[in-house]
């Protein structure tokens, strides 16, 4: 099976968020299943052409996904030439123009390429216009390009409806099959609270809407092999390993070294999705409970400022590092005792999966992929109310166990570390979806 996987970002070439992680790791797992998968992303000026040995074929840049042999096509260099730093999640109008340009180049690529994919797999609003354009292309034209309905189908994966959702409207109607990145999010987006104004369109496509849980790449995310940690560890040595990493984090961010339970927040400083407002409001009470909190991320300047103010008030208990720092992120995943994830909505969420692998339990709101992956009281702590008291209540439960029932806590950590959220678990589901999409395209 031949699949063209198209996204706005793919790690390690370029990444701003979870989409980049997924686009950088799912194709590797598909390849292991024998799929001839190739990736297409925009040719951003920031992509290091020397490091990734990019060569040019016509106006297309060709490289591979990191060290793997999965081919990556870099498209639309002219469109992105002036964009400077990649800011595909800022939500500006300008982005819509860039990604429309990208979509046009993707369609041109399909036309001109000698390699003809059977599946066009588009991710999020960035490629919506390409999906719609393909639907609008006549059967004659498609066949002149080398495709027929027997050997060509489209699939749209929704990672997050909240940005530029209107651009998705037509793509939702046009794609042969649609999926969201967790079973619960696939159900949530049919309801007014989560559908971002697209309830009607999603409702019409409900029979073709699936939920496939994301995985993570344990080649990157494993405390046994992670070079960014100050001490590596296994399911057996995690306690000493965590103690080392915790000390290193505290020293690096300036927290006192004798300060109890360490809670981490890593992610976008975003009050709309990530619940940063809830976290800021909860901060005083978390400190009163005797916890330390380290926050790492960038985003909304108003909330960055509020976080900085709290950190100044409690210099030994709260640290806010307002930048993108992959190494520190790894160290927090390893060194924190628990991760705070108070999201308002969370299509899948990857950091709870990383946390579990590193023996760091999630304290998370029971929405989307968080409720699909965390078992309350067994592999983490879930809460329902989207409020600071909801979050504080769950932290109290976790802290109670951490301080008074250490054996119970260790059992939970061991259980969480042994969970399997590798892509090998979910990649097979995508192959099934591809088959469904082909079948659907033949019938329609
Ligand atoms: C988006 C979602 C996040 C998901 C990621 C990868 O960033 O907000 O929940 O894990 O995409 O699918």
DSSP state for residue 126 in the 8-state scheme: G
Q: What is the pTM of this model?
A: 0.95
The ranges assigned to domains in the chain are 2-217+423-443, 238-418
Angle between helices 128-136 and 165-174 (to 10 degrees): 30
Cβ(18) – ligand 1 distance below 6 Å: yes
- Kindly give the distance from the C-alpha atom of residue 346 to the centroid of ligand 1, in angstroms, as a whole number: 7
User: Angle between the 423-443 and 18-32 helix axes, to the nearest 10 degrees?
Assistant: 80
Lowest mean pLDDT among 163-172, 273-282, 318-327, 432-441: 163-172
The answer on pLDDT for 433 being more than 70 is yes
How many Å lie between the centroid of ligand 1 and the Cα of residue 228?
23
Q: Would you place residue 351 in the very low, low, confident or very high pLDDT band (cuts 50, 70, 90)?
A: very high
Looking from the CA of residue 17, the nearest atom of ligand 1 is 7
Assess whether the C-beta atom of 351 lies below 6 angstroms from ligand 1.
no
Cβ(22) – ligand 1 distance below 6 Å: yes
C-alpha to C-alpha distance for 289 and 286, rounded to whole angstroms: 5
Whether ligand 1 lies within 6 angstroms of the CB of 132 is answered as: no
What percentage of the chain exceeds 70 in pLDDT? 98
Neighbours of 109 (CB within 10 A): 21
Structure tokens at 308: 């900085």
Spacing, Cα 308 to ligand 1 middle (Å): 26
| One fold for 2-217+423-443 and 238-418 | yes
> Average pLDDT in the 307-326 region?
96
Mean pLDDT within 256-267 = 93
Nearest alpha-carbon partner for 347 in 146, 107, 172, 183 = 183
pLDDT value of residue 160: 94
Cβ neighbours for 319, distance < 8 A, ≥ 6 positions apart = 253, 254, 255, 292, 293, 294, 295, 311
Tell me the average pLDDT of the chain.
Answer: 95
Q: Provide the pLDDT for residue 132.
A: 97
Q: Which fold has domain 2-217+423-443?
A: Rossmann fold (3.40.50)
Coil, strand or helix at 100: helix
Model pLDDT, residue 345: 97
Q: How far is the CA of 425 from the centre of ligand 1 (A)?
A: 18
Which pLDDT belongs to residue 84?
66
Report whether residue 350 contacts ligand 1, using a CB cutoff of 6 Å: yes
Class of the domain covering 238-418: alpha beta
- pLDDT tens, position by position, 195-239: 999 999 999 999 999 999 999 999 999 999 999 999 999 999 999
C-beta of 267 in contact with ligand 1 (< 6 A) = no
Q: How far is CA 138 from CA 152, 415, 439, 443, in A?
A: 13, 53, 19, 16
**Cα 156 to middle of ligand 1, angstroms:** 14
pLDDT, tens digit, for every residue of 112-153?
Answer: 999 999 999 999 999 999 999 999 999 999 999 999 877 899
Which residue's C-alpha comes closest to atom 5 of ligand 1?
18
Q: How many CA atoms lie within 13 A of 274 on its CB side?
A: 23
- What's the confidence (pLDDT) of residue 258? 85
Q: Give mean pLDDT, residues 276-299.
A: 97
d(CA 244, CA 257) in angstroms, rounded, equals 11
- Predicted local confidence at residue 89, as pLDDT: 54
What would the pLDDT profile of 69-115 be if each residue is shown by its tens digit?
A: 999 999 999 999 877 665 555 567 788 999 999 999 999 999 999 99
| Dist. CA 19 → ligand 1 center (Å) | 6
pLDDT in tens, 313-322: 999 999 999 9
User: What is the gyration radius of the CA atoms in the chain, in angstroms?
Assistant: 22
pLDDT attached to residue 87? 55
For residue 411, the surrounding DSSP H or E stretch is helix 406-418
Q: State the virtual CA torsion across 249, 252, 256, 261 in degrees, nearest 10.
A: -20
Higher-confidence position of 351 and 163: 351
From the CA of 372, how far away is ligand 1's center (Å)?
14
């Amino acid at each position: 099976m031949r699949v063209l996987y198209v996204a706005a970002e793919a790690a390690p070439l370029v990444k701003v968020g979870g989409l980049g992680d997924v686009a950088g790791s799912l194709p590797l797992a598909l390849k292991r299943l024998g799929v001839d998968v190739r990736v297409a992303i925009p040719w951003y000026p920031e992509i290091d052409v020397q490091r990734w040995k990019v060569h040019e074929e016509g106006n297309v840049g060709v490289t591979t996904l990191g060290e793997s042999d999965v081919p990556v096509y870099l498209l639309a260099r002219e469109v992105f030439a002036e964009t400077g730093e990649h800011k595909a999640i800022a939500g500006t109008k300008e982005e819509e123009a860039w990604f429309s340009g990208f979509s046009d180049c993707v369609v041109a690529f399909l036309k001109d390429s000698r390699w003809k994919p059977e599946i066009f797999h588009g991710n999020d609003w960035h490629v919506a216009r390409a999906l719609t354009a393909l639907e609008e292309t006549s059967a004659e034209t498609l066949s002149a390009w080398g495709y027929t309905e027997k050997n060509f189908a489209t699939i749209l994966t929704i990672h997050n409806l909240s940005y530029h959702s209107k651009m998705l409207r037509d793509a939702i109607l046009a794609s042969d099959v649609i999926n969201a990145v967790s079973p619960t999010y696939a159900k949530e987006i049919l309801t007014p609270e989560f559908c971002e104004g697209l309830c009607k369109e999603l409702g019409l496509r409900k029979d073709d809407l699936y939920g496939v849980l994301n995985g993570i790449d344990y080649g990157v995310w494993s405390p046994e092999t992670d070079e960014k940690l100050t001490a590596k560890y296994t399911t057996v040595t995690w306690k000493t390993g965590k103690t080392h990493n915790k000390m290193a984090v505290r020293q690096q961010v300036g927290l006192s070294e004798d300060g109890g339970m360490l809670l981490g927040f890593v992610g976008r400083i975003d009050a709309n999705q990530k619940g940063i407002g809830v976290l800021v409001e909860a901060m005083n009470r978390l400190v009163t409970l005797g916890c330390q909190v380290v926050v790492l991320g960038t985003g909304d300047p108003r909330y960055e400022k509020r976080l900085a103010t709290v950190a100044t008030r409690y210099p030994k208990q709260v640290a806010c590092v307002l930048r993108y720092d992959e190494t520190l992120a790894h160290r927090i995943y390893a060194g924190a005792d628990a991760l705070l994830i108070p999201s308002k909505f969370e299509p899948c969420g990857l950091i709870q999966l990383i946390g579990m692998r590193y023996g760091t339990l999630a304290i998370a709101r029971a929405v989307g992929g968080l409720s699909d992956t965390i078992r309350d009281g067994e592999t983490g702590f879930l809460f329902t109310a989207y409020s600071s008291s909801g979050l504080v209540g769950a932290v109290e439960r976790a802290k109670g166990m951490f301080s008074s029932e250490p054996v119970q806590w260790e059992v939970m950590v061991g259980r969480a570390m042994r969970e399997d959220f590798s892509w090998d678990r979910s990649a097979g589901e995508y192959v099934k979806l591809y088959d469904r999409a082909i079948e659907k395209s033949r019938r329609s």
